[in-house]
Amino acid sequence: LFKKVPTAYPVIGEHIEVIDTEFDLDAQLADGEFIIKTLVLSVDPYMRGRMRDASAKSYSPAFTLDQPMNGHAVAIVEKSNSSVYKVGDYLYGMGDFVNYAKMSEAEAKARGMEVRPDIPTSGLPITNYVGVLGMPGATAYVGLELVGKPKAGETIYVSAASGAVGQLVGQLAKTQGLRVVGSAGSDEKVAHLKDIGFDAAFNYKTEDTDAKLTEFCPDGVDIYFENVGGAMLETTINHMNLFGRIIACGMISQYNVGNELYGVRNLIQVVAKRLILQGFIVSDHPELDAPFREQVTKALVEGKFKYLDDVVDGIENTPEALIDVLQGKNFGKKAVRVADP
């Protein structure tokens, strides 16, 4: 349950609470109603933005106090009185952070719940469907294609590169013939980046970003896939080439600092270098879902893309999983495995 609006990092027991309630699996189902069992939940950085006062407007709705939080999830239909959602169907959409839920067809539609016959047949882990094949994967694809407009031979730099979005950005860019450089917050994460095909990677916590960008991007940066913001953005702007593109995907370093936002001081370079600095929100671009899913599913099934999930078991561990992501303690896409099918 969402209990209280945090001013910095959320605290379990104060801002998020885990409770036990009864769920009647034998409840009568009205026409069109069905019961889902949650299999996997996604925890994502943007959820911090939803832990706000409902009066503050943003691109995704605030969580409701004293109600379950929600996010992208894979669930299976357990019981059904619906001809659309049948027993055994795998669903992907916005699910509450609960083990079981009763739903009407209208509610499922409002939550974007799609029946996904590919989930049980692809042979890929179910967790992939909230990560590399879910919202974060789509974010990598949309940001790169729509804003990045990559061209073979260019150099792309990806921050938070070992995370849910970053891992795929680098691999998609490699397929398009780019030189790919990434940064991450531990040596283990950096080793993973090299393992999945990044040309170069560095630990921004122990090494100097400015010096590493000079070394690894000798011809400058044409595309910056921005996940972090703050000082990382400021340093990278200094390395951008003329007509470079900054894909403003997220700025996680700024999500838990309250009013102490970092003031980027060199934005004037956007003018002189004719940079494009463009934000985007993945949910605005459902038109790219089909090509994204087709390309990435194929690459995963053929073993051409590698992707690390960081999976924790048990719905009761969801709050900690979310806080881990906000604090950079995840290694790969963080997901919560709630139940087996």
The residues of the shown chain that bind ligand NDP, judged by CB under 6 A, are: 44-46, 136, 139, 160, 162-166, 184-186, 189, 227-228, 249-253, 280-282, 325-328, 330, 333
**Calpha distance 91→314 (Å, rounded):** 19
Q: How far is the CB of 45 from ligand NDP (least distance, A)?
A: 4
| Residue closer to ligand NDP (CB basis): 38 or 183 | 183
| Residue closer to ligand NDP (CB basis): 79 or 306 | 306
| Residue closer to ligand NDP (CB basis): 51 or 251 | 251
Which of 310, 328, 282, 256 shows the shortest CA–CA distance to 51?
256
Q: How far is the CB of 110 from ligand NDP (least distance, A)?
A: 20
Q: How far is the CB of 113 from ligand NDP (least distance, A)?
A: 19
| Residue closer to ligand NDP (CB basis): 78 or 324 | 324
| Residue closer to ligand NDP (CB basis): 217 or 335 | 335
| Residue closer to ligand NDP (CB basis): 251 or 300 | 251
Q: How far is the CB of 280 from ligand NDP (least distance, A)?
A: 6
Q: Which residue is nearest to ligand NDP (CB)?
A: 163
Q: How far is the CB of 316 from ligand NDP (least distance, A)?
A: 21
Q: How far is the CB of 72 from ligand NDP (least distance, A)?
A: 10
Strands (E) across the chain are located at 34-42, 70-80, 90-96, 100-103, 114-115, 155-158, 179-184, 200-203, 221-226, 240-248, 276-279, 309-313, 333-337
Return contacts of 103-112, CB within 8 angstroms, 24+ apart: 103/33, 103/34, 103/35, 103/36, 104/30, 104/32, 104/33, 105/32, 105/33, 106/32, 108/34, 108/84
Bridge partners of 183? 202
Q: How far is the CB of 250 from ligand NDP (least distance, A)?
A: 2
Cα dihedral value 141, 296, 130, 165, nearest 10 = -40
DSSP code per residue over 12-80: BTTTB--------TT----TT-EEEEEEEEE--TTHHHHSS-TTS--SSPPPPTTS--EEEEEEEEEEE
| Residue closer to ligand NDP (CB basis): 2 or 202 | 202
